[in-house]
Structure formats: C-alpha cells, structure tokens
Amino acid sequence: MNDALSTFSVRGGRPLKGEITVRGAKNLVSKAMVAALLGEGPSVLRSVPDIRDVQIVGELLKVHGVKIERDVVGGVIRMDPSNVEKAHVVDIDAHAGSSRIPILFCGPLLHRLGEAIIPDLGGCRIGDRPINYHLDVLRNFGAVVDKRELGIYITAPNGLKGTKIHLEYPSVGATEQVLLTAVRAEGVTELTNAAVEPEIEDLIAVLQKMGAIISLQTDRTITIEGVERLGGYEHVALPDRIEAASWACAALVTQGDVFVRGASQKEMATFLNIFRKVGGGMDITEAGIRFFHPGTPLKAIAVETDVHPGFMTDWQQPLVVALTQAEGISIVHETVYENRLGFTEALNDMGARIQVYRECLGGSRCRFGRRNFNHSAVISGPKDLHGAEITVPDLRGGFSYLIAALGAEGVSKIHGIDLIDRGYESFREKLTALGAEFWED
C-alpha cells in the first residue's frame, strides 16, 4: 500500500438513508467553461459543482487571461475572456496529467490566438485513451500539429476552414473538438458518426446561446455553419447523471433509501431501465429520483456498455458492485474502454466473485473482441462483502470501492480517496447526511 496516499476508513453495514443533491455534470461543465473562451463577452454558468476538474479548467482559463469569478457555494462561475492571451509554457505544463480537458482548448485558442500549446493529458487510466481522432479533426480544419517535449504545439497558418469529418467511433471528446473548432471556422462543417451524449446536446445549447448555428440530425450527423463572432452565454448545466447513478447503486448495495435531488429521468432513462431490471425501487419526480432497495432479492442481468443512448460506461463500475448482491450470474460487456474492469480484483478481495474474460460475452462483438483485453465480466451473486484494504484505481472505480465498503461487513481502509474529488462534489458531507460511518486517518 502507498502510505503517501490519504486514507479513508469506512465501517460498512449501515443502510444509506436520506437526501442528497446533484448539481451540474462534470462532463458538461468543464466543456462549457472551455466554450466561454470563444466568446467576445463574459459567460455565466450555473449549477457548477465543487469538483477538482472545474478547478483545473478554471486555472487553465486563468493562465490564458480569462478573468474568473466563482461563487463555490452558489455554484456560479463567471468567465470574462475579453483579454485572452498566450500563456507561459511552464504555467500550462503545471497542469500536465491533471485532466483530459486541455485537448479541447485547441479550437478556441487557435481562433483567439492562432496557436495552442496543450500539456500531456490526465483523466482516468481505463484504457489507452489515444488522441488520434482529436489531432485528425484539427488537421482536417487546416491546423498544423507539432508534438514537442512539453506537450503538443498547434498552429493554423492559413486559418481554420469548415470541412467534412467522419468519426471511426462516436467519440465524445472528438465530437466536442469538432464543435468547439467548427463554430468559428470559415464555412460549413459536417460531422458524421458523432457522439450524441446528453452532455454534447447541452454543449450545443451553450454554443447556440453564444451565436453558433448547429443542427443535430437523428442519424448522428451534426452540421455547423461557422460564424465570425460569438458572444457570452448564461446557462444552467444539466445534472450529473453519473453521480446520480452512483448514489442509486450505493442505495441498493447498502439496502438503503436515497432521494437524489436534481437527478433527471430524461438523461438517465437507460440506467433506470437497468436499475429496475435488477430489482431496484425508484420513484421518479420532477425534483429528483428516490432510489431504494425494495427488500426483495435483486436479480442478475446481462448488460453491455455503449455510446448514448446505450448504457453508459461510467455507470458500469458502480453497477458491478450492485450486481455482486444479485441472485444468479450477471454478465457485463464493456465496449467503450478496453481496460475498465481491473477494479474488480479488489472487489474479489472483499468477497465478491467476478471473473473477467477477453471474449465479448453476452452481447455483440465489439472493437476489443479477440484482442488481449479483459473486457467482459461474469459476476456470481449474491456474495457477502467484507472489509478490506484497497487503493482507488480511478474515479468511478474509487466510488465503486466506497459503495462496496459501505455495503461490507466490518471496516475497509481506502487509500487515495482524494481521486474521487475529481468528479463527486462534497461526497464526504453527502455520506454524513446519509448516515454512513467513516473517518479519515
């Protein structure tokens, strides 16, 4: 175990009961903040959660001259990009490895400054996570990409021009790259096989408020007519459907009853279907969703992760913990990331029975079939979980360990808990509100 990591101890066995609130989605807020860079006037974003990714993007905006005012408690961030300027390489490099968002600064910085320097990316290590689509997209618009020792240096000597782009896979980040570049490129851009996640639709709404002209067809085609200028925006971020689903799984595993204020049915429809099939109870209201264990045995299921409107990959890890409590054999086929099942090893140390396979099990053949990636899991349940000493591997894996520890008999020691702050606002306070017993060493 790494002693340098902060340690969080949890005594499991108490049902989580009560109410918590989710605010804006990590995967929209950070991108809407980047979009503010494109405007000539200030932008105001509301329902901003207090998570580390927001802080990191805020700092990156600041080093580029954006004036930021933030009301952390009220969840409001005001960004004034009137004086965007070149940042010092050392200031940019200070953010190397911290998040995946810097790659999305390319289009806005090229439009504003004619060049962009992008540090090495961070984010969860759940696969190789290449950026080839991003760089191809930028080259398509006419950008010149130069890989240097301290990151990537991008210029657009002849400006950025609208183009036709087809994505080999509907990547969320690459779709956002196209949007954030095309809105001010000269002429029309047509993107086919685009990702259509709710966070992307919300980013389109933000850009439209700024003056962009974007249409989204039902066949994953997005057309963007470039405009010369964009203004600021005022926007309320859509709620975080990943955080909401994570608390739903925590309610199930601990035999609890949690009202997640802010959870929205529309963006969670696919998760809600699976939660119901597993046997979870729910009451859907306008204000939020109550998730509870109905007292009857949970049922095993087969599920595969997919791009929207499929079952989201970021829901997979919390759901796997819930499936350790279901009666029978569940199958989970991870088709978005090749390496997102490593976290199951520690669950097995806690008493779960999960076997991982290279084959595509229980669903269609995916990009990872017949390759050396353990991307299918077979979960036999129900199994009583017991406390263990575990280290957080990534954001969702970390929250999943927390769920397992809350549902386990005895005390678990979780190392590296701070990683969870990247995407779960005030999770310690929320755990306290729900009656969990934990302490930090």
Ligand X SMILES: CC(=O)N[C@H]1[C@@H](OP(=O)(O)OP(=O)(O)OC[C@H]2O[C@@H](n3ccc(=O)[nH]c3=O)[C@H](O)[C@@H]2O)O[C@H](CO)[C@@H](O)[C@@H]1O
Residue ranges in contact with ligand X by CB under 6 A:
27, 100, 127-134, 169, 171-174, 195, 197, 312-314, 336-337
Q: Which residue has the tokens 């968002």?
A: 101
Give the span between the Cα atoms of 34 and 39, in whole angstroms: 10
Question: 3-class DSSP state for residue 153?
Answer: strand
Give the span between the Cα atoms of 212 and 183, in whole angstroms: 6
Q: Which residue has the tokens 């009666």?
A: 327
Shortest distance, position 124 Cβ to ligand X, whole Å: 7
Shortest distance, position 309 Cβ to ligand PEP, whole Å: 18
Query: What residues have CB less than 8 Å from 55, skipping those under 6 apart?
Result: none
Give the span between the Cα atoms of 144 and 154, in whole angstroms: 6
Answer for which of 123, 281, 328, 363 binds ligand PEP (CB under 6 A) is: 123
- 423 near ligand PEP, rule: CB under 6 A: yes
E strand intervals along 262-400: 281-284, 288-292, 298-299, 302-304, 326-333, 353-357, 376-381, 389-391
Terminal CA-to-CA distance of the chain, rounded, Å? 14
- 100 near ligand PEP, rule: CB under 6 A: yes
169 contact, one of ligand PEP, ligand X, none, CB 5-8 Å limit per kind: ligand X
**Window 12-31: contact mask with ligand PEP (x via CB under 6 A):** --------------x-----
Is 336 labeled as ligand-binding?
A: yes
Stretch that binds ligand PEP, among 121-129, 135-143, 274-282, 358-366 (CB under 6 A): 121-129
- 204 near ligand PEP, rule: CB under 6 A: no
Shortest distance, position 131 Cβ to ligand X, whole Å: 5
Check if 366 is active-site: no
Q: Give the nearer residue to ligand PEP in terms of CB position, either 99 or 324.
A: 99
Between residue 393 and residue 422, which ones bind ligand PEP under the rule CB under 6 A? 395-396
Query: What residues have CB less than 8 Å from 382, skipping those under 6 apart?
Result: 297, 298, 324, 325, 326, 327
Distance of CA 282 to the CA centre of its chain: 24
Is 26 labeled as ligand-binding?
A: yes
Handedness of CA 279, 285, 290, 294 (dihedral sign): negative
Active site residues: 124
> Binding site: what residues are annotated?
26-27, 100, 314, 336
Q: Which residues bind ligand PEP (CB under 6 A)?
A: 26, 99-100, 123-124, 126, 314, 395-396, 423
> Binding site for phosphoenolpyruvate: what residues are annotated?
26-27
